[in-house]
Structure formats: C-alpha cells, structure tokens
Amino acid sequence: MNQYKDNPDAGVFDVDCTAEGKPLCESNGVRGYPTLKWGDPAALEDYQGGRDYGTLYKFAEANLKPMCSPSNIDLCSAEEAAEIQTYMEMSDEQLEGEITSKESEMEAAETEFKSFVEGLQNQYQEGMKKKDEALDLIKDSGLGLMKAVRVKKKKDAGSDEL
C-alpha cells in the first residue's frame, strides 16, 4: 500500500468489509476474507495469484497501471475500442439487459460448480465409509491374531526380530 500511496494512476486499498466498507464489499461481490480485487474500479476482477509479497509485487508492477477502458480509450487496441463503442451505442436498457444476462451466466456457472463439488464431497464420504467398513472387516477377520502368531513364532524360533 505504501508503494502506491502517491501514485496518481494506481492504488492499493484495505477495506473493512465488516464495518463501514460493507456496502462497497457487497457491491463488488466480496464473500470471503481476505479477498483481493484489482482492475478498473467500475469492474473489479478477482485476484487469483499467490499471496506472498514477491508474487503480489510482481503482479502489481505488471497490472496496476492505466488500462484500456471507456475512460482510457487511447490505451485500447482497435478491437477493444470497437467493442467499447458498441456498448456505448447501446441504450441503457440494452446495456443493463446484457449485463444482467452475463451476470446470470456467471451465477449459473457458480451454481453448477458448487453442485459438482457437492457431488464430489458425497462420493468422497461414500468412499471413506466403504473403505472404513472394508478395513474393519479385514481387521475382524483375524489379521491381528495372525500378526501376533507371526511374532510368537519368530520369538519361539529364537529370532528377536519383530
């Protein structure tokens, strides 16, 4: 944060999502802590990289700078500028509809993933139960006594090896 405190083009900020920052966090999709977001303040993205200083510093150096956006059209490629222009020409209702549609797609992907993970969790629990039952059956089938007999036989044969 100190490294970027006087930078006119980039900043690093700490927001307390449990107090005054709660509305800001909610409007930016912060659900867990700590969450790192980056990018255009109007369209923040989730940071997915490492959390150690070196990795964060490298990411900040590469990404915390002015980027292509409606406010910085001069930094855009021809394709990006054309895409921005297409969105600028949409009515407010059309733009809201497109945003809602894309957000719904994202929510559907999240829901599908959560369902997938729940399925994996259920499979894991079933597998653990099956394994535990199998191990109990094996142990109850005389394994402990067999091992005790093996030790006794070796001891009787004069071996001190267990």
pLDDT at 79: 97
Residue matched to tokens 């004069």: 158
- pTM, rounded to two decimals: 0.58
In a domain, 81, yes or no: no
Domain extent, residue 49, equals 1-66
Give the span between the Cα atoms of 34 and 16, in whole angstroms. Answer: 10
In a domain, 27, yes or no: yes
In a domain, 97, yes or no: no
Give the span between the Cα atoms of 148 and 155, in whole angstroms. Answer: 11
pLDDT at 8: 78
In a domain, 51, yes or no: yes
> b or e along 108-119 (b: 16 or more beta carbons within 10 Å of the residue's beta carbon)?
eeeeeeeeeeee
In a domain, 102, yes or no: no
The runs of H, that is alpha helices, within 14-91 are: 22-27, 53-63, 78-89
pLDDT at 51: 87
pLDDT at 6: 84
Q: Which residues of the chain have pLDDT under 70?
A: 159-162
> How many domains, in total, are found in the chain?
1
In a domain, 86, yes or no: no
CB 161 within 8 Å of CB 150? no
Q: Which of helix, strand or coil describes residue 38? A: strand
Q: What is the pLDDT of residues 22-69, one digit of tens each?
A: 888 888 888 877 888 888 777 888 888 898 989 988 988 888 888 888
Q: How large a percentage of the chain has pLDDT more than 90?
A: 52
